[in-house]
Amino acid sequence: MKINFLKIAFLSLSILTLASCSSNDESDPEIIIEPPVLNPSNLLTTQNVTTFMVDANATKETVALFYNLKKLAKTKVAIGQQDAFNSFYQDNGGESDIKKNTGFDPAILGSDFMFITDKNNNNQADNWFYQQEEKLVNATKAAYAKGIINTFCWHLREPSKEDSFYTADMTADQKANAFKSILPGETHHEWYKKKLDKIASVLLNLKGSNGELIPIIFRPFHEFDGSWFWWGANFATAEEYKTAYQFTVDYLKNTKGVHNVLYAFSPDNSYTTESNYLSRYPGDKYVDILGMDNYGDFDNQGQSGATKANSKLKIISDLAKAKVKIAALTETGYQVTSTKAPITDWFSTYLYSALTSNNIEVSYVMLWNNNKDAYFVPNGSVSNAADFKNFAVKPKSALLNSLPKMYELPK
């Protein structure tokens, strides 16, 4: 829906002019009426929601997810974790570590297309990579059945040898050419399309109990402002990055007919201004969620780091309000290891203040995964378990137990 603010202003001025002309008393005091402050976010309704989305043909559950995430940010921040159902501290399986600690499931489940699109995945039942695909698909379906939000990143291995996504593992030639080679007309473009074909196949078969397609959030080419990944800033111009992102969206949506995706744009934390943040932005027609990954500001920097993180979140919160998009902290955390102790009140003070200060509206936060030897989210048995539990019950925090129905538009 487009609103012509100049036309509104002109009409308002015309009305005021007519009103003043109707008086014959030249001594009438001048009446000055301040124009109303219009918040674009308030324009969102259940009827016009697709106007603000990437996919005008999104499934009704996907439309509902966009609407409900946008509205959620006014009162709550959904809390989740990458691989929450499959990666556990000390390999202690069963319920997620979040649920072991709090008694409640996470509100967000993070997954990765990495093994799904791996060159070694041959779609055979005895293949380890295919088994990982099945595990991820089953976790996504189980999360959706509970009402949890699903989000996917993609650590895609570089196209020439498909051995790694980290530039530290690549030759100078690989680093210089990998990203450019997947662009339309280039040497690995067909290779890239086949990877997207695989993702499309998975998404088009990702169905709930009534046969409906399960919505996911997809954030391709994340942390692109750093250069640790082959799609990073040193290896792609801004225009090349935008082209690849736009192609990815168009191909999934228009060529493959995938309509159960919200698209997230998520640099790391290097930006300090709106123009920095938008320097590689592919455009409103290609982005539903304005995200940020941020570990650095929370790495033992105390309140000053939390304040820096909050100022960056405020930039995307303000942009999300103006553009009628969703703002999110798409990845964060502080990893505790055998040699790296927890930070006192990291969750309940620093992370919470970053997510809530200065009237920002952030829809969700996702913490990175736990493993056998280290954790980002404490289970119930470690020294900072109470800190996370306190964080989870704060007024604006939401685990699954306080999450509204995300896949239905309110009546």
pLDDT of 31 higher than 80: no
Strands (E), 163-233: 216-218
Percent helix, strand and coil across the chain, each to the nearest 5: 45, 10, 45
Give the whole-angstrom CA distance, residue 303 versus residue 110.
27
Contact 235, 175 (CB under 8 A): yes
Question: If you average pLDDT over residues 124-151, what whole number do you get?
Answer: 98
Give the pLDDT of residue 11: 36
Which band of pLDDT confidence, cut at 50, 70 and 90, is reported for residue 322? very high
What is the separation of C-alpha 244 from the centre of its chain, rounded to a whole number of angstroms?
18
pLDDT over 70 for what percent of the chain?
A: 90
User: Which fold, 41-402?
Assistant: TIM Barrel (3.20.20)
Terminal CA-to-CA distance of the chain, rounded, Å?
21
pLDDT of 265 higher than 60: yes
Question: If you average pLDDT over residues 16-45, what whole number do you get?
Answer: 52
Question: If you average pLDDT over residues 126-150, what whole number do you get?
Answer: 98
Give the CA distances from residue 363 to residues 168, 201, 398, in Å, rounded to whole numbers and listed in that order.
33, 28, 10
Question: If you average pLDDT over residues 381-392, what whole number do you get?
Answer: 98
pTM for the whole thing?
Answer: 0.90
Question: If you average pLDDT over residues 131-141, what whole number do you get?
Answer: 98
Give the pLDDT of residue 30: 53
pLDDT of 4 higher than 60: no
Any catalytic annotation for residue 240?
Answer: no
Contact 403, 147 (CB under 8 A): yes
pLDDT of 42 higher than 80: no
Which band of pLDDT confidence, cut at 50, 70 and 90, is reported for residue 41? low
Query: Hey, CA dihedral for 17, 20, 21, 27, is it positive or negative?
Result: negative
Any catalytic annotation for residue 162?
Answer: no
pLDDT of 9 higher than 80: no
Give the pLDDT of residue 411: 87
Domain ranges of the chain: 41-402
The single residue listed with the structure tokens 């008694």 is: 103
pLDDT of 198 higher than 60: yes
From the list 61, 133, 158, 223, the catalytic residue is 223
From the list 61, 133, 158, 331, the catalytic residue is 331
Mean pLDDT, all residues of the chain: 92
Q: How many CA atoms lie within 13 A of 290 on its CB side?
A: 29
Structural tokens at position 111: 């997954």
pLDDT of 26 higher than 80: no
Which band of pLDDT confidence, cut at 50, 70 and 90, is reported for residue 43? confident
Integer Rg of the chain from CA: 23
pLDDT of 25 higher than 50: no
Question: If you average pLDDT over residues 376-391, what whole number do you get?
Answer: 97
Give the pLDDT of residue 24: 41
Contact residues for 102 (Cβ-Cβ < 8 A; gap 6+)? 388, 389, 392, 393, 399
Beta bridge partners of residue 336, listed in sequence order: 375
Give the pLDDT of residue 37: 47
